[in-house]
Amino acid sequence: MSFVTTSDGVEIFYKDWGPKDARPIVFHHGWPLSADDWDTQMLFFLSRGFRVIAHDRRGHGRSAQVSDGHDMDHYAADTSAVVEHLDLKNAIHVGHSTGGGQVARYVAKYGQPQGRVARAVLISSVPPLMVQTDRSPEGAPIEVLDGLRAGLAANRAQFFLDVASGPFYGFNRPGAEVWEGTIRNWWRQGMMGSAKAHHEGIRAFSETDQTEDLKAITVPVLVLQGDDDQVVPYKNAAILQDRLLQNSTLKIYAGYPHGMHTTHADVINADILAFITG
């Protein structure tokens, strides 16, 4: 397996598929998953001649289960360590949910200043600020986020099963087609990681104000979200991202859930490809 060691000594696992001289696409996974969440996208873009890269966030998947650094600044720095190790240039960065926050912080702080990033895609992403405050009245109440922490601490295995079989993919909607394999794969990825990293990650994805990150980004950004996202309210996410970004394209999908890159991979992949090649 391939690892890079960060400046603070953390081993980060990554996948790197395809020709090394092909244009790179870097995928950033959501909470509490791993690089495996992008397998469908990685195979799709690999078959179209791209080099595809994804890494496990610290404390997630196969990366080191360290005690500290479960915040957006470290997530972005770890991303930069992978990108610099592989010397990726002219890259497209694609992030889902928490991974979208990771993309925004990385692009603003590292990728754009270093001239390594060409475009970005935010899918069902958490910026600018997920928690409900005076600045984000459409956000998630802190009580909801405290409930996530409580559920994880009490019985992480059952909690993860409930999330995957319910709101994440919209499988709790009347008449929804439930994919048992997808639920099991979500649970498998989650349980590979560190309970501490996942617990602290809730604060990272919900209480990190990334308004300035979004304002700083000048490269073209594709913003995608479903209007039936039960995890991240789209009016507090995609709509505001589009307003804050300097060069964005917004697309809202009717009825799509939070995990739409899995449930509607054919549509999402095609739209990302059109954005990259257009």
Active site residue 21: no
Residue (of 101, 69, 107, 75) closest to 88 by Cα position: 107
* E strand spans, 191-260: 221-226, 248-253
- 242 labelled catalytic: no
Helix, strand, coil % in the chain, rounded to nearest 5? 45, 15, 40
Q: Which of 124, 108, 117 is nearest to 29 (CA)?
A: 124
SS3 label, residue 37: helix
Find the catalytic residue in 36, 78, 213, 229: 229
Spot the catalytic one: 97, 125, 165, 206: 97
Burial class (CB in 10 A: 0-12, 13-18, 19+), 252: middle
CA distance 259 to 93: 18
Beta-carbon contacts of residue 47 (< 8 Å; ≥ 6 apart) = none
Nearest Cα residue to 257 out of 165, 184, 194, 187: 165
Catalytic residue among 70, 93, 258, 261: 258
Burial of 137 (0-12, 13-18, 19+ CB in 10 A): exposed
Separation of alpha carbons 201 and 70, rounded Å: 6
Establish whether 47 is a catalytic residue.
no
d(CA 216, CA 213): 5
- The number of CA neighbours under 13 Å toward the Cβ of 10 is 26
Q: Which residues carry out catalysis?
A: 97, 229, 258
